Amino acid sequence: MKLATSSPERQRENVLTAAASVGAHIIGWADDWEVSGATDPVSRPKLGPWLRDERGPYDGLVAAAVDRLGRNVVDCLNTGYKMRDEKKMLVTYGHDGPWELDDPADENRFTMEAWGAQMELRAIQRRNRDATIKIRAAGRPKGKPSYGFRERYAALGRELVALEAEPQQAPGMVRRPTGETVVDRWFRAPDVQARKEILVDFGIRVTLFPASAPVR
């Protein structure tokens, strides 16, 4: 639940700082590092049980940024309003005190930060689509051959940082009855997490390696 461009260590520090700023302490962590940020917060394996009230009582939610609550406005607002309606605190690093979503000014700021995250995602998707169209029109493959991929995780937090070629497999040959291949969807993926989900969806083996493992 931290800034997308920050390391797990920095994000954890930011969460602890934000919690301390309101006199709170952490009773549990919801580090969904291997889950796409586009996943509905209620459906996430670590955060979901807290939002579904399956982890027992708690007083609020602390995140490193609003965009760590979700990748779109709806997810962020749903989580924010749930905290408000249940009289629980919602705290993010960099915001002065808990969010007060009954206050129009605070609600507008919260919404704008969520909107910024959504617009950034849309911009990435648009750039990927445009690049794919240009490269295909020129008759050239996009980037390295898509012969399979493996995940590389940071040593702390197992943060997904890259996908690299693994020549034992050829996911480009996997084809749906509709004619869509895994590579077709790969080119349209907005980020690394989405690419991981595409591989899993197509039934392609995904091998996990620690960051210190040598690239084969």
Query: Looking at residue 72, which CATH number applies to its domain?
Result: 3.40.50.1390
Contact at 8 Å (CB) between 86 and 67?
A: no
At residue 98, the pLDDT reads 97
Instruction: Kindly give the interhelix angle for 73-85 and 104-137, rounded to the nearest 10 degrees.
Output: 160
Between 56 and 189, the higher pLDDT residue: 56
Q: Which residues contact 133 (CB under 8 A, 6 or more apart)?
A: none
Does residue 215 sit within a domain?
Answer: no
Contact at 8 Å (CB) between 172 and 146?
A: yes
Reading the block at residue 96, the tokens are 């002065």
Q: Are residues 167 and 108 in the same domain?
A: no
Confidence band (pLDDT; 50, 70, 90) for 56? Answer: very high
Contact at 8 Å (CB) between 69 and 76?
A: yes
pLDDT tens-digit profile of 24-49?
999 999 988 777 667 889 999 999 99
Q: Are residues 104 and 190 in the same domain?
A: no
Q: Are residues 32 and 113 in the same domain?
A: yes
Q: Are residues 111 and 173 in the same domain?
A: no
Does residue 61 sit within a domain?
Answer: yes
Max mean pLDDT range (29-43, 71-85, 134-148): 71-85
Q: Are residues 13 and 110 in the same domain?
A: yes
Q: Are residues 106 and 191 in the same domain?
A: no
Does residue 131 sit within a domain?
Answer: no
Q: Are residues 94 and 26 in the same domain?
A: yes
Cα–Cα dist 131/203, whole Å: 27
Does residue 128 sit within a domain?
Answer: no
Q: Are residues 79 and 167 in the same domain?
A: no
Q: Starting at the edge strand that comes first in sequence, how are the strands of the sheet with 208-210 ordered?
A: 160-165, 149-153, 208-210
Q: Are residues 113 and 155 in the same domain?
A: no
| Last residue of one domain, picked from the residues 95, 117, 139 | 117
Q: Provide the strand spans (E) within the chain.
A: 60-63, 89-92, 149-153, 160-165, 208-210
The single residue listed with the structure tokens 């997308």 is 4
As for how many domains the chain has, the answer is 2
The single residue listed with the structure tokens 């895994």 is 182
Does residue 3 sit within a domain?
Answer: no
Cα–Cα dist 147/89, whole Å: 47
Flag whether pLDDT at 53 surpasses 60. yes
Q: Are residues 21 and 90 in the same domain?
A: yes
Please give the residue range of the domain that contains residue 103.
8-117
**Cα distances (angstroms) measured from residue 80 to each of 47, 158, 183, 197:** 14, 27, 36, 26
Q: Are residues 104 and 177 in the same domain?
A: no
Does residue 127 sit within a domain?
Answer: no
Question: pTM for the whole thing?
Answer: 0.58
Does residue 142 sit within a domain?
Answer: no
Does residue 126 sit within a domain?
Answer: no
Confidence band (pLDDT; 50, 70, 90) for 15? Answer: very high
| Last residue of one domain, picked from the residues 99, 117, 135 | 117
